[in-house]
Amino acid sequence: MLRNKTVEELLHFYDYYRALYPTANTEGRIVLLHFLRRLRKRIKRRIKKNQSPLVGG
């Protein structure tokens, strides 16, 4: 689902799921924390990859 998304789309997903956190129950919070952590890593990697001088030749 997230593999072909742009950084802007990933940030939108992050904001959406972060907004759900306060209303989630205990199990939901654990799942959301895990998902948000992975999503944050993916966003950082994508930004770093896009800023690489080797990308685009």
Asked if 40 contacts 14 with a C-beta cutoff of 8 angstroms, the reply is yes
pLDDT at residue 50, as a whole number:
80
Three-state secondary structure along the chain? CCCCCCHHHHHHHHHHHHHHHHHCCHHHHHHHHHHHHHHHHHHHHHHHHHCCCCCCC
Q: Cα–chain-centroid distance for residue 25?
A: 21
Q: Report pTM.
A: 0.75
Query: pLDDT tens, position by position, for the chain (57 residues)?
Result: 777 888 999 999 999 999 999 999 999 999 999 999 999 999 999 988 887 666 554
